[in-house]
């Protein structure tokens, strides 16, 4: 009975511990393809500046329902942003590309098919750039990999292709649709001068992002922040610490 007693007590301790370990492993696996900040040399994800400036970026569009609503808000608030478009979606919505450029925003390259493995990276970048140029007569200069996944070989391909490998420094986590209030809180609580903010205008239902966006802009302005394009932001670094985009 004494041995059985100790076995049961040990089991009571070990079993919860095992479940905790399994939970951690499953969580890490689930996060592998989630957007996250990867401070990889050779990538552009922020600048070092004392000026309260940030850059808004939107991924996975253009979406015929949600992107125009985002553009309406940006126009109303007089804010310029960068839209990292997926080639397939861009091909189906050339008028939205024309509106993005016509209203003074920047179009970035987010691959053609949103393939996380980026198996035909150079081809996907080229196809998306061709789609954007056909609609707007503007080329893409910033490339953002699906899921923020980076590999050395991909960095070299992007550099050779003439694009700036662009990530982010503040993930709004709007892609999990946590509610407009939580999206706002995540941005406001984590913003800093020189931030590149990740948001989404496509890839899923983006009503929460649209609901949060006006308040994000208002709140950041009340904190003294102004909004600049990625092109403007990358020339604002005033530190000897490399940002990786040079």
- Per the domain annotation, does 142 fall within a domain? yes
Which pTM does this prediction carry?
A: 0.83
Does residue 212 share a domain with residue 93? yes
| 75 and 179 within one domain | yes
201 within 8 A of 63, measured Cβ to Cβ:
yes
pLDDT tens digits, 120-153: 999 999 999 999 999 999 999 999 999 998 888 9
Whole-number average pLDDT of the chain = 86
First to last CA, the chain: 71
Inside any domain, residue 246: no
Q: What is the pLDDT of residue 36?
A: 46
Q: 201 catalytic, yes or no? A: no
Can 200 be counted among the known catalytic residues? yes
Identify the pLDDT of residue 78: 98
pLDDT at 243 over 80: no
Domain check: are 75 and 195 in the same one?
yes
* Residues 20 and 59 both lie in one domain: no
How many Å apart are CA 35 and CA 116, to the nearest integer? 11
Residue 182 lies in a domain: yes
> Could you report the per-residue pLDDT of 189-204, keeping only the tens digit for each?
999 999 999 999 999 9
- Catalytic option among 110, 200, 201, 237: 200
Domain that includes residue 6, residue range: 1-30
10 and 86 housed in the same domain: no
Say yes or no: 118 and 205 in one domain: yes
Number of domains in the chain: 2
- Alpha carbons 3 and 7: distance in angstroms, whole number: 6
Query: Residue 63: inside a domain, yes or no?
Result: yes
Are 22 and 128 in a shared domain?
no
Which residue out of 59, 60, 129, 237 is catalytically annotated? 59
**Domain membership flag for residue 70:** yes
Q: Give the helix/strand (H/E) hosting 83.
A: strand 82-85
Give yes or no: residues 221 and 100 share one domain: yes
């Amino acid at each position: 009975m004494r041995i059985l007693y100790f076995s049961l007590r040990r089991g009571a301790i070990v079993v919860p511990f095992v479940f905790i370990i399994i939970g951690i492993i499953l969580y890490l696996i689930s996060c592998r393809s989630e957007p996250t900040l990867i401070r990889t040399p050779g990538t552009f994800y922020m600048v070092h500046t004392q000026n309260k400036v940030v850059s808004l970026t939107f991924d996975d569009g253009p979406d015929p329902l949600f992107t125009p609503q985002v553009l309406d808000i940006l126009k109303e608030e007089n804010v310029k942003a960068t839209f990292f478009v997926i080639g397939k979606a861009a091909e189906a919505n050339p008028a939205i590309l024309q509106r993005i450029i016509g209203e003074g925003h920047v179009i970035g390259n987010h691959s053609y098919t949103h393939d996380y493995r980026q198996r035909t990276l150079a081809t996907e970048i080229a196809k998306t750039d061709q789609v954007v140029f056909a609609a707007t007569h503007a080329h893409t200069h910033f490339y953002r990999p699906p899921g923020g996944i980076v590999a050395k070989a991909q960095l070299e391909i992007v550099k050779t292709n003439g694009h700036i490998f662009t990530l982010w420094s503040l993930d709004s986590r709007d892609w999990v649709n946590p509610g407009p209030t939580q999206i706002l809180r995540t941005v406001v609580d984590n913003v800093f001068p020189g931030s590149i903010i990740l948001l989404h205008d496509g890839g899923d239902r983006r009503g929460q992002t649209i609901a949060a966006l006006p308040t994000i802009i208002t709140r950041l302005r009340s904190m003294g922040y102004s909004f600049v394009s990625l092109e403007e932001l990358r020339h604002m670094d005033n530190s000897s610490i490399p940002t990786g985009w040079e």
